[in-house]
Amino acid sequence: MQDIQNTSKLTVHVDPEKCTGCGTCTALADQTFALNDENISEVINQNGNSDEDKLLAAQSCPTQAITVTEEESEEKV
Ligand code: SF4
């Protein structure tokens, strides 16, 4: 994994086409992700959880629907 833990500027994005609404990300980072009316995860607050939790949620997504980018390099995790 890239050495991006030192930054506090990770941006998460959910691809609604890939999300199955399993709820893993909302359980791991419940201040950042929430399921909408269609049972698709949405980012409700980029700063809702720590970067660590956001990364963990992204890595735990079974369909890899969550992309994480670092603001400056736009490194994809
Ligand atoms: S972990 Fe992935 S598939 Fe599950 S709700 Fe979150 S974005 Fe959707």
pLDDT of residue 5: 47
pLDDT in tens, 20-68: 999 999 999 999 999 999 999 999 999 999 999 999 999 999 999 999 9
Domains and CATH numbers, the chain: 10-70 (3.30.70.20)
Q: Using CA atoms, how far apart are residues 19 and 6, in angstroms rounded to an integer? A: 28
C-alpha pair distances (Å), 37 with each of 14, 34, 41? 15, 10, 9
Helix (H) or strand (E) holding 56: helix 51-60
Ligand 1 centroid vs 44 CA: distance in angstroms? 14
Nearest CA to ligand 1 atom 6: 25
pLDDT of residue 74: 56
pLDDT of residue 16: 98
Nearest CA to ligand 1 atom 4: 22
Of all residues in the chain, the percent with pLDDT exceeding 90 is 78
- At 7, the pLDDT band (50, 70, 90 cuts) reads very low
Structure-model confidence comparison of residues 9 and 11, the more confident one: 11
